[in-house]
Amino acid sequence: MTETVAKPAYTRILLKLSGEALMGDDAFGINRDTIDRMVDEIIAVSAMGVELAIVIGGGNIFRGMAGGAAGMDRATADYMGMLATVMNSLALADAISRKNVPARVMSAISIDQVVEPYVRPKALQYLEEGKVVVFAAGTGNPFFTTDTAAALRGAEIGAQMVLKATKVDGVYTADPMKDPTATRYSRISFDEAMVKNLGIMDATAFALCRDQKLPIKVFSIVKPGALQRVVRGEDEGTLVYA
């Protein structure tokens, strides 16, 4: 008897990962077991026929340099953070490629000997070919977060949704770690989230998604199978809609 595989509800998505998600239980850096587990989830979604692009932060790398960055010029610190995202992107793409799924890293800042530059038509071509595309170096500009990069790249590639992967399984009425009575929103509008100041993404990213009517799904990347359930359209995490 042939097993029926559930079809995805989305065909092209942008996954936003925090650098801290790669740390596991480590103080900083990349935990190999953690990245391998995430890659298994990513590959499972790619195997469903979903075109998948990823934006990843650099906080796990930059955290190890935090002491030396104290008092540094903000623009300089942001450029260092961009380089940290390139390191994370290379590590993630390598882990994906080692499991026989093609992955490409495209950088918003020019490092031609390491990664290719971000060019929108080329990124779209890679996605249509079934490759996982990892967008590195944020927007290429200081003062903009990787949340904003995720919203921008998601809009540029025509993603149907931005998936924000966190350690919490959605958006709650209060901090669930501090308030045991907090309840999870299954879905919430952009306007309501703004009124309640829920802090789902930074203001620039949030406004861009709202203006482009690009929905956001907040879910837990540490919850086994959550990414697949989100892509299948199941009630996993919190949907933020226009």
- At 114-126, the pLDDT tens digits run 999 999 999 999 9
Spatial strand order in the sheet of 132-136? 116-117, 103-107, 132-136, 51-56, 12-17, 161-166, 216-220, 238-241, 187-189
Task: Give the confidence band of 2 by pLDDT, cuts at 50, 70, 90.
Answer: very low
Average pLDDT score over the chain: 92
E strand or H helix at 130, and its extent? Answer: none
* CATH fold group of domain 12-241: Carbamate kinase (3.40.1160)
* φ/ψ (deg, to 5) at 201: -140, 170
**Positions at the binding site for ATP:** 16-19, 59, 63, 166, 172, 175
Residues tagged in the binding site annotation: 16-19, 58-59, 63, 78, 139-146, 166, 172, 175
Binding residues for UMP: 58, 78, 139-146
Q: Span 177-192, mean pLDDT?
A: 92
For the cut 90, the answer to whether the pLDDT of residue 152 exceeds it is yes
* Cβ neighbours for 123, distance < 8 A, ≥ 6 positions apart: 53, 106, 133, 135, 156, 157
Q: What is the dihedral of CA 97, 16, 157, 117, to 10 degrees?
A: -60
Whether the model clears a pTM of 0.75, i.e. scores above it, the answer is yes
DSSP conformational letter for 190: H
Tokens of 196: 């309640």
Q: In whole angstroms, give the CA distance from residue 19 to residue 125.
A: 26
